[in-house]
Amino acid sequence: MKTVEELEERMTAPSQALIDDMKRVDGNLLILGVGGKMGPSLAKMAKRAIDAAGLSKKVIGVSRFSTGTLQQELEEAGIETIAADLLNDDELSRLPVEKNIIYMAGNKFGTTGNEHFTWAMNAYLPGRVAEHFKRSRIVAFSTGNVYPLVPVIQGGCDESHEVNPVGEYGQSSLGRERVFSYFSHRDQTPLAIFRLNYAIDLRYGVLLEIARAVYEEREIDLSMGHVNVIWQGDANEYAIRSLLIAALPPARLNVTGPETIPVRWLAQEFGKRFEKRPLLTGTEQPTALLNNASKAHQLFGYPRVSIQEMIDWTAEWVMDGGTTINKPTHFQQRRGTF
């Protein structure tokens, strides 16, 4: 892949399983926070699946759309758009109550020094949204950061593991889950909580950060020595299909790839492709932020894109000077400071 167009084509292509599941999802799809990193490709994938299934249901994306050309881009892809600030009660109250809601709004980057806004977005707003859409089914994006750091040899946290987030982003994300769950119980709203880490798009993500560090001969800190990753297209597909598992009591789903991946190994793999020696510093700690997503794999199958494919594509993207989004994951953080 050498262009954004090729990347978008591959990332938004629906599987036959998704096309089949869209036939089972009754009603339109409303995506809240469609302007984020994953929202545009999720909306396009949903629309392509609907079209491939021969259905007439709508995909509607909600965002502030305050800058750029995203609103026009989505409209040209057949996605209806609504410009709205979700924190504005008047604008929220005017949103159409559709059968299916995917909630992607939230705040992570810039939390430090702006904690009040992070808590408003991640814990207050979900209550307002849950009240407005109490007759819908909801998939609420969350994060693996609700879990503590665990021993690498444990294989990651499954959904039964105790939550104990480190830092205010993780804490406020757990607040989002708790608030959505309260309203789900109160109003009998089917809910799926979607705990994701880390989605890979060639323009951002853990692999891009490690690849660029190797390519630019910068040091790579090994203290957070292991990670999980999943291709963004696979994560988006799981999210859309999770509408069918929204339940009472709320379903919880970890979403990531099947491997526990050493950062050292990733750096060495990129080093082979770039013919450069990675500059590694620090020592791998015995704990890391790791998820076990075997339940998601049982429900929806293994991700279609493998780790070696992601490494190859990312290396090619970096060598070709591909476009990047300046939104680092801060995956190295062990204290939850974003």
Token pair in block for residue 287? 């704990």
Which H helix or E strand runs over 168? helix 168-187
**DSSP-derived pairing of the beta strands 226-227 and 261-262:** antiparallel
Which H helix or E strand runs over 311? helix 307-319
Q: Phi first, then psi: what are they for 252, rounded to 5°?
A: -120, 135
pLDDT in tens, 75-110: 999 999 999 999 999 999 999 999 999 999 998 766
Amino acid present at 296: A
Gap between the Cα atoms of 278 and 268, Å rounded: 6
Q: Phi first, then psi: what are they for 250, rounded to 5°?
A: -55, 140
pLDDT of residue 207: 98
What's the pTM? 0.96
Whether the predicted pLDDT of 338 surpasses 70: no
Whether the predicted pLDDT of 326 surpasses 80: no
pLDDT in tens, 276-325: 999 999 999 999 999 999 999 999 999 999 999 999 999 999 999 999 98
Residues 6 or more apart whose Cβ sits within 8 Å of residue 68: none
pLDDT in tens, 113-147: 889 999 999 999 999 999 999 999 999 999 999 99
Domains and CATH numbers, the chain: 4-319 (3.40.50.720)
Gap between the Cα atoms of 219 and 85, Å rounded: 40
Token pair in block for residue 147? 């879990």
pLDDT of residue 335: 79
